[in-house]
Amino acid sequence: MTAILKVDTIQDTSGNNIINENAGTVTIGKAGNTTNIVGTLQNDGAALVTGKVLQVVSVAKTDTFSTTSTSFVDVTGLTLNITPSSTSSKILVLCDVKLGVDAGVSSVKSRIEQTISGSDTYPYIGDEENSNTRCSFGTYVNESSFIAQDASTVLLSPSTTSQITFTYQTIQQAGGTVYVNRIDSTDTAAAAPRTASSLTVMEIGA
Query: 150-201 pLDDT, tens per residue?
Result: 999 999 999 999 999 999 999 988 778 899 999 887 777 776 788 999 999 9
Phi-psi region of 188 (alpha: psi -120 to 50; beta: other; left: phi over 0): alpha
Question: pLDDT confidence of 111, banded at 50, 70, 90?
Answer: very high
Q: How far apart are CA 108 and CA 173, in angstroms?
A: 7
Considering the domain boundaries, does residue 17 fall inside one? Answer: no
Q: Rounded to 5 degrees, what are φ and ψ at 46?
A: -105, 145
Structural domain boundaries enclosing 66: 53-204
State whether the Cα torsion 56-57-62-66 is positive or negative. Answer: negative
Tens-digit pLDDT profile for residues 6-16: 777 888 887 78
Q: How far apart are CA 75 and CA 68, in angstroms?
A: 12
Using the predicted structure, report yes or no on whether residue 67 has a pLDDT greater than 90: yes
Q: How far apart are CA 91 and CA 57, in angstroms?
A: 11
Number of structural domains in the chain: 1
Q: What is the CATH number of the domain that holds 132?
A: 2.60.120.760
Neighbours of 182 (CB within 10 A): 21
Considering the domain boundaries, does residue 181 fall inside one? Answer: yes
Considering the domain boundaries, does residue 22 fall inside one? Answer: no
pTM of this structure = 0.75
